[in-house]
């Protein structure tokens, strides 16, 4: 039985970079599966350690998966562009909100 050696690392790294330029991925498993599928389609031999090594090399150079974490608001976005509400107007708004809240609570509890 003939043993096929995996492709040299630069070939798989180049293939992975090509994939990442064309698509975005949500998980490392998706990237790995796409890399294996592309290598198989191009008849490039690979094994699990070669795929893992290519992922490790590219991971240091660029993001592999899409960052889905929420980004913190910048200080510019924290400042409202609306004019400052005068204190008496703000007080009236808060009193009205509390009144509505108490009214809904009483209604829900069956006090009305």
Query: Per residue in 22-33, pLDDT tens?
Result: 998 988 999 999
Contact 38, 80 (CB under 8 A): no
Residues in the chain: 112
| pLDDT, tens digit, 9 for 90 and up, residues 61-112 | 888 888 777 777 666 655 556 667 788 888 888 899 888 888 888 877 776 5
- Domain ranges across the chain: 9-61, 83-109
Helix axes 48-61, 9-22, angle to 10 degrees: 60
d(CA 15, CA 34): 10
SS (H, E, C) 22-56: HCCCCCHHHHHHHHHHHHHHCCCCCCHHHHHHHHH
């Amino acid at each position: 039985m003939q043993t096929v050696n995996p492709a040299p690392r630069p070939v798989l790294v180049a293939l992975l970079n090509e994939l990442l330029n064309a698509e975005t991925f949500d998980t490392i498993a998706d990237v790995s599966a796409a890399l294996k599928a592309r290598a198989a389609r191009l008849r490039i031999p690979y094994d699990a350690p070669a795929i893992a090594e290519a992922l490790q090399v590219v991971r240091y150079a660029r993001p592999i998966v899409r960052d889905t974490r929420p980004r913190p608001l910048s200080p510019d976005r924290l400042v409202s562009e609306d004019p400052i509400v005068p204190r008496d107007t703000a007080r009236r708004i808060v009193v009205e909100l509390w009144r509505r809240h108490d009214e809904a609570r009483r209604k829900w509890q069956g006090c009305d």
